[in-house]
Amino acid sequence: MKALFFLLTLFSALAAAQTYPNRPVKVVVPWPPGQATDIAARVMAQKLQESLGQPFVIDNKPGAGGSIGTDVALKSAPDGYTLLAASSGPVSIMPSLQKLPYEPLKDLVPISLICRNAYVLVTHPDFPAKNARDFIAELKANPDKYTFSSSGTGATAHLFAELFNYSAGIRARHVPYKGTAPAITDIINGQVTYTMETVAATLPHIKSGRLKALAVSTARRAGGLAEVPTLAESTDLRDFDAAAWIGYAAPAGTPREILQKLSAEMHKMLEAPDLKEKLTQLGLDPAPSTPDEMAGFLRREQERYAQIIKAANIRVE
């Protein structure tokens, strides 16, 4: 009887995967529109819709550094019809900063990474520093005089800015916002001094001259900002290398056949030259993976950020 039950379950799962999806799929984005995770999730949702013949509908549920939307997605039915646009902040970082209503490594199952994205140090164009070295010197000479924004306390942008401040030996006042767009807007308006934000979110403002880019966070220059040096090459922060990630995941218990089907589709799309070019132009570096590869990556990322947070003594206010 047990063998028969196993076979029936297996055939049922295979049949579900073959017909999946047969109705619209919701993709929960735990950030506001315009944030890097939202941008990448929308690009991928459109491609999946074209390939699989059903709507992949973006559902923005921002708040609490991405943890609200993440929790909503992970508590949804594990049937493949609610997916999570997962990202560094609520999955890899926040578990080391505060108690969450979910455990990422237990409550989600990976589908595929979409991309990794560099962050960039930006200021208002009128800020006197011409480069990152001058910027650090100015802030070190004036502790607590200047302010930096982030998309929310505990968000990836907050962590990377704190890591930069700690590494450079500077002190500045944190101004958290509810999302990336307002955090950037107040730098453009001159109300906040600087931020570390994704290339994807800042690129249009840098190209238009409304923001000044001083350096990127990764060891190599970012594809969308090849003319902007890295912190490692332009300052004394020789080992500075920080990048976020974005991917698709689902609630634990989602049939593996569905995960593999979605992952295979995403891998095929992310290897296509047109999508690669589009993501690069948006400031995102394509990084497809299998579910198992992403699972290993998530374990390593959570360990890595825990070490960074401990070393820099970063705390959520």
Q: Which residue has the tokens 């199952």?
A: 109
Amino acid at 69: G
Tell me if 111 sits within 8 A of 248, measured CB to CB: yes
CB-based contact 61:28 (threshold 8 Å):
yes
Alpha carbon distance 66, 30 (integer Å): 5
Provide the whole-model pTM: 0.79
Q: Is the peptide bond before 32 cis (omega within 30 degrees of 0)?
A: no
147 phi/psi in degrees, rounded to 5 = -125, 155
Nearest CA-CA partner of 64 in 240, 289, 316, 270 = 316
> What pLDDT does residue 6 have?
43
List, for the chain, all residue ranges whose pLDDT scores fall below the cut of 70: 1-17, 316-317
Question: pLDDT at position 5, please?
Answer: 45
- 43: nearest Cα among 94, 115, 121, 143: 115
Query: What residue type is 144 in one-letter code?
Result: D
pLDDT per residue over 88-105, tens digit each?
Answer: 989 998 899 889 999 999
- Amino acid 126 reads D
78 burial level (CB within 10 Å; 0-12, 13-18, 19+): middle
Rounded to whole angstroms, the Cα distance separating 69 from 61 reads: 5
Beta partners for residue 213, in sequence order: 122
Domains defined for the chain, CATH in brackets: 23-116+244-312 (3.40.190.150), 118-234 (3.40.190.10)
Residue 122: predicted pLDDT: 98
N-term to C-term CA, the chain: 56
Q: What distances in angstroms separate CA 310 from CA 34, 134, 136, 163, one per listed residue?
A: 31, 28, 23, 11
For position 204, what pLDDT does the model report?
93
pLDDT in tens, 108-139: 999 999 998 899 999 999 999 999 999 999 99
